Amino acid sequence: MYYVYIIFSLRLNIYYKGITQHPEKRLFEHNNGLSRFTASRGPWELVFLEMVSSKSEALLREKAIKKLNRKSILFLIKNYSKNTLS
């Protein structure tokens, strides 16, 4: 399984979108300086998590989400039921 996720920087009011197989580990990496782009921009909060069946599907979904404007991202977050990490 793969996950498409959106995290939010509480400090800078920005969103980061990505894919992973291990959401908890990836969030830890973002919050602990182990990811180049997000290292100095945290703390990060997981605001959207969608499970997909393959890496190719995850990449297509991530690409589509990255094309959204901020208003559409906020709508997506508000109206999508987050999958749980457990």
Q: Is residue 22 part of a domain?
A: yes
Question: What percentage of the chain reaches a pLDDT higher than 70?
Answer: 93
> What local confidence, expressed as pLDDT, does residue 79 receive?
86
Domain extent at residue 45: 2-79
Long-range pairs for 81-86: beta carbons < 8 A, 24 or more residues apart:
82/46, 82/47, 82/48, 82/49, 83/3, 83/49, 83/50, 83/51, 85/23, 85/24, 85/46, 85/49
Global pTM value: 0.89
> What local confidence, expressed as pLDDT, does residue 86 receive?
42
Q: State mean pLDDT over 76-84.
A: 72
Q: Is residue 86 part of a domain?
A: no
Q: Is residue 84 part of a domain?
A: no
Number of domains present in the structure of the chain: 1
Residue 4 pairs with which residues in a beta bridge?
A: 19, 50
Long-range pairs for 19-22: beta carbons < 8 A, 24 or more residues apart:
19/55, 19/58, 19/59, 19/61, 19/62
Is the pLDDT confidence value at 13 over 60? yes
Q: Is residue 49 part of a domain?
A: yes
Q: How confident is the model at residue 15 (pLDDT cuts 50, 70, 90)?
A: very high
The CATH number covering residue 32 comes to 3.40.1440.10
